[in-house]
Amino acid sequence: MSQGAINSNQRVGIFVDVSNLYHSAKNLYQGRVNYAELIKTLVGGRQLIRAMAYVVKSEGVEPQHPATGGTRGRAAMNATPTPAAGEDSAGFAGAGSSEASFFEALEKAGFELRMKDLQIFAGGMKKGDWDVGIAVDAIRMMPSLDVIILVTGDGDFVPLVNYLKWAGGCVVEVASFRRSASSKIVEAADEFINIETMPRAIMKTRYSRRSARRG
């Protein structure tokens, strides 16, 4: 984030596409996002008005391990509630309890939750995206905000970014992992924030730490 551009009087709204963020952290780093650190860094001394996290219920959540260093909000969404390769199933809580712990961690980190149930269609196809919901909420809140931060790398949000900028007069920042973010959304944003460069924003899972020791 460009510290020179920060104005402490700016009203900030944060909208997090949790599933997008989770899969990027897992695939790139075999880790999880520290949501408490994320929200702190994104706000950057400005006035936080709303922080929204969009999740899909019953999508499955990986087991919760104690956070180190007193951090909170260590949790992540997973498409299936099964152990990762090389990790025994004993460390897994039931899907319901893991999911509840994850939601609680997000709330403790300072997020308001938007939840919907995972839809499963005939043939096994699953649908649980929040694209429309995030767009509606951001547009509805934009009169009360100076800066809107979209935490996603999904290029489908480019029309929303442009609308918030040109119709709403808001500064639009996009935060995501640069290696998995759409180049279109990076270009469309007033500022792109690379989560990969945030100190303490990525927390390694138990399995990834164990693999590193073996290496």
Q: Do the domain assignments include residue 197?
A: yes
Q: Do the domain assignments include residue 122?
A: yes
- Structural domain that includes position 28: 8-57+111-214
Instruction: Return the pLDDT at 155.
Output: 95
Length of the chain: 215
Mean pLDDT of 97-125: 79
pTM of the predicted model, to two decimals? Answer: 0.74
Q: Do the domain assignments include residue 25?
A: yes
Q: Do the domain assignments include residue 101?
A: no
Specify the higher pLDDT residue, 126 or 109.
Answer: 109
Q: Do the domain assignments include residue 36?
A: yes
Q: Do the domain assignments include residue 65?
A: no
Q: Do the domain assignments include residue 138?
A: yes
Q: Residue 181's domain is classified under what CATH number?
A: 3.40.50.1010
Q: How many domains does the chain have?
A: 1
Specify the higher pLDDT residue, 110 or 58.
Answer: 110
Least confident of 23-27, 41-45, 58-62, 184-188: 58-62
Q: Do residues 5 and 42 lie in contact, with contact meaning Cβ atoms separated by under 8 Å? A: no
Instruction: Return the pLDDT at 83.
Output: 29
Q: Do the domain assignments include residue 96?
A: no
Give per-residue pLDDT as tens, 157-215. 999 999 999 999 999 999 999 999 999 999 999 999 999 999 888 887 654 444 444 44
